[in-house]
Structures are given as structure tokens and as C-alpha cells.
Amino acid sequence: MEGNYYMIHDYLIFIGVFAIFFFLTVSIYLFSQNQKFKINNAKLSEANKMIQQRLNEVQLEHIGTKLNPHLFKNILNSVQSHAYQTYMSLDKLANVLDYILYESNSKFVSPKEELNFALSLIEINKIKINPLFDFRIKSKIDKSDAIFEEKVFAPLISVDLIENAFKHTDFLAQDSFISVQMELQQGIFSMKVSNKASLKNTLQKEKSGFGSQSLDQRLKMIYNNFYTLHKNSKNGIFTAELTINLGEFYDKMHYS
């Protein structure tokens, strides 16, 4: 009996020591995770401050038009509300703001720069969309094209079509979708954007900002006979298709 007593006593001591060790291990792990979380939050807060400062510096004066700053305010709010994608999103947002702040002051940028900007803008807007939403993007870009890195593309031309698709889509509707197709082949750039138009939001021309009327005016002023822009609405699906013959426009710029 005495031997059993000591065995039980030793067993209880072992259990107690193990419980203390387990508790300490879990406590240390939770403490370290909490510290990492605090560090990540501090980095995130600092990054958001930097983006906010950069956002406040952005002025979008270009050929008498302005890009609606509320677009980027909404983007920043979306980024902040989706912590799991924050670092990637802030990086994309920084690229977009840098492009608007610096490159948009140039009369022309390269198709490479504009297309990178458009893709970054799309990725940021996608943060607001349910992962199950029908979003389609197709890019067929010939990077060996002679004009791919030539200064021949008017900056921010792609913004209007992308912004309108996201602005005028009801993301809660079952049959909603957004489709973006971009192509650069043999000096010809084409962009086709389609979306299921929201019944709650009738498409209207903007009175200010980078609206449809502004886009038409810019295209006519810059590319004249070297572009086409077609828009139509059928069965609730709105489609805009832009084509610019950058190759011929480049030849005219340099050899006329």
C-alpha cells in the first residue's frame, strides 16, 4: 500500500510539472504571437500613414481633366478593411499613386507603363469583390512589339473604362460579372471592358472627373483618326471597346 501511495504521489507530481510546463509553453507561444501581431500592426499603421500622405499630394491636372480623387479614397478604405491582403494592396496602391503623381504629368508614357498601371488598379479594385464573384481578365501583350516601351501612350487613358465597370456593377446580383480584355499586337492596342450593369445605377456621363465625355475629348485631341471607341448596352450588359493604332500614331509623330 505504501508503495502504491508513493507511485500515485510521483504520478501526481509528474502531471503537475507537465501541466506547468505545458502552460508555460503555451503562454510563451501566445506572447510571441501577440508581439508579432503588434509589430505587424505598427508596420501597417506606418504604411497607411505614408500612403495617406502620398495620396494628399496627388494632383490630377492633365489636359483640362481631373481624375476623381474619391476613387483612391475608396480604394484606400478597401485596403484598410481587408487586412489579409493589406501588404500586397498597399504595394499596388503605392505604384498607382506614384504613376498618377509623376508619370501622368508627362504627355506620353509607354504602353508598358500604362498597362502595368491598369493591372495594378484592377488588382486594388478586386479587393472589394467577393472571391466568388465572376471577374474575368485576359491580357495578350506582345512585349517584343516595337512600340511596347516607346512614349506613345497618353497616361490614364485606361482609367475611365475600368472605373466605370466597377462603379456601375451590382456585385450582389447573381448574374453579375466584369470582363477586362487588353491586347497589344503589331502596334495596335485594344481594350474591351464588359459588365452586367446595376439596375440601381443608371449609367450617366460624369460632370467632372475622368468621365466618359472627358475620355472622348482626350482621345479625339490626341489620337484623332488613329482610334475608335465604341460603347453599347444590350440585355443589361454594358460594353466599351477602345482601339488605338499606336504604331501609325508613332510614325506620324516622328516622321511626318
Residue 89 lies in a domain: yes
Residue 189's nearest CA partner among 114, 100, 117 is 114
Q: What is the pLDDT of residue 122?
A: 85
Residue 42 lies in a domain: no
Residue 38 lies in a domain: no
Q: What is the pLDDT of residue 168?
A: 84
CA separation for the pair 42, 63 (Å, rounded): 40
In terms of residue numbers, what domain contains 165? Answer: 58-255
Residue 47 lies in a domain: no
State the 10-residue block means of pLDDT for the chain, 256 residues long.
Answer: 53 58 62 69 73 57 48 60 57 72 78 90 79 88 94 89 86 87 96 85 42 77 93 90 96 80
pTM: 0.62
Q: What is the pLDDT of residue 215?
A: 84
Cβ atoms of 164 and 211 within 8 Å: the answer is no
The total of structural domains in the chain comes to: 1
Residue 34 lies in a domain: no
Which CATH number fits the domain that encloses residue 65?
3.30.565.10
